[in-house]
């Protein structure tokens, strides 16, 4: 070897080459963290779903045997009469939920639009505060308030009073859900609509609200599911009835109140009807959620 030939010397700052098969520095730790938090999320989901599944299975096992045509077509009968049912309570629940939605949904959605699109300053902050506080108020307190405001004024219990109470119960959920989802709509959609000369109110209703409608529909169904099972405010406002009633200015039956009365009775037949009524109430809430999902999915496909 010639002594004049330079010998290559490795630079002290040069790092060894890493092949593609070798993990990057810290990759193993990142994967462990990822698997840990994925497992934590799955475990949390199981913890939430297992009690719900067990409750549903238990209600089905208790109430399925009482399902019959008479349950939906007959009125509550005295002990000993086999042809007894809760048909008036099923119809009354649908009427009360319809009145509550007719009052609460437009009010809550418009309030959410105001807070997200227009509301600024102390008034908007006060509305948000009231909505948050109202969401934590016990429903029986709302029932007492509507009793003093509507029932005492009308001098009678009525379906209208029950619907107003349910509307107040669902207002905080609808308002805050609408506001938060409208805030998630990208600003460039608003800017594009306004740049085309569309008025601000039409932009809010036809562009922003339509974009957020699937999420708002989910919030609405959560509110409907809550009011469908409320007992205390309905008992203090609509009272209940043992007869068919379709008038909104008269007392009306409802499934939650009828379930409560039958469940607290000493008669096995009435207790069985209470379990069946609970099952029917769950099915009604499920069908309402399913219809809302179908409606919102069609609106998304139409766009």
Torsion angle, alpha carbons of 113, 292, 161, 110, to 10 = 10
pLDDT for res 27: 80
Task: Going residue by residue through the chain, which has 303 residues, state the pLDDT in tens, using 9 for 90 and above.
Answer: 455 555 555 555 555 565 556 666 678 888 889 999 999 999 999 999 999 999 999 999 999 999 999 999 999 988 888 788 999 999 999 999 999 999 999 999 999 999 998 888 899 999 999 999 999 999 999 999 999 999 999 999 999 999 999 999 999 999 999 999 999 999 898 889 989 999 988 998 889 998 898 889 888 988 998 999 999 999 999 999 989 999 999 999 999 999 999 999 999 999 999 999 999 999 998 888 888 778 777 655 655
pLDDT for res 291: 80
pLDDT for res 114: 93
Distances (CA, A) of 43 to 30, 34, 36, 61, 284: 20, 14, 10, 27, 29
pLDDT for res 222: 87
Structural domains of the chain ordered from first start: 65-73+82-302 (1.10.3720.10)
Cβ-count burial 179-190 (b if 16+ within 10 Å, e if not): bbbbeebeeeeb
pLDDT for res 217: 87
pLDDT for res 23: 65
pLDDT tens for each residue of 77-91: 888 887 889 999 999
Contact 227, 97 (CB under 8 A): yes
Nearest by Cα to 200 from 121, 117, 124, 120: 117
């Amino acid at each position: 070897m010639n002594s004049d030939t330079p010998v290559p010397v490795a630079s002290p700052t040069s790092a060894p080459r890493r092949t593609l098969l070798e993990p990057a520095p810290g990759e193993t730790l990142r994967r462990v963290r990822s698997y840990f938090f994925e497992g934590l999320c799955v475990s949390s989901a199981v913890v939430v779903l297992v009690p719900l599944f067990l409750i549903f299975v238990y209600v089905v096992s208790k109430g399925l045997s009482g399902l019959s045509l008479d349950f939906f077509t007959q009125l509550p009968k005295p002990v000993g009469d086999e042809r007894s049912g809760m048909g008036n309570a099923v119809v009354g629940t649908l009427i009360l939920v319809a009145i509550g939605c007719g009052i609460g949904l437009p009010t809550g959605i418009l309030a959410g639009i105001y807070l997200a699109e227009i509301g600024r300053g102390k008034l908007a902050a006060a509305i948000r505060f009231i909505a948050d506080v109202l969401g934590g108020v016990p429903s029986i307190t709302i029932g007492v308030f509507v009793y003093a405001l509507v029932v005492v004024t009308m001098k009678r219990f009525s379906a209208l009073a029950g619907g107003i109470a349910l509307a107040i119960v669902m207002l905080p959920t609808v308002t805050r859900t609408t506001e938060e989802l409208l805030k998630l709509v990208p600003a460039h959609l608003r800017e594009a609509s306004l740049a085309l000369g569309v008025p601000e109110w039409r932009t809010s209703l036809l562009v922003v609200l339509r974009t957020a409608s699937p999420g708002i529909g989910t919030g609405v169904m959560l509110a409907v599911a809550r009011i469908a099972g409320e007992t205390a405010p309905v008992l203090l406002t609509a009272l209940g009835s043992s007869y068919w009633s379709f008038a909104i200015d008269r007392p009306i039956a409802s499934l939650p109140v009828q379930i409560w009365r039958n469940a607290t009775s000493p008669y096995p037949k009435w207790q069985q009807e209470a379990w069946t009524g609970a099952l029917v109430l769950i099915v009604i809430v499920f069908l309402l959620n399913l219809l809302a999902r179908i409606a919102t999915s069609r609106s998304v496909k139409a766009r």
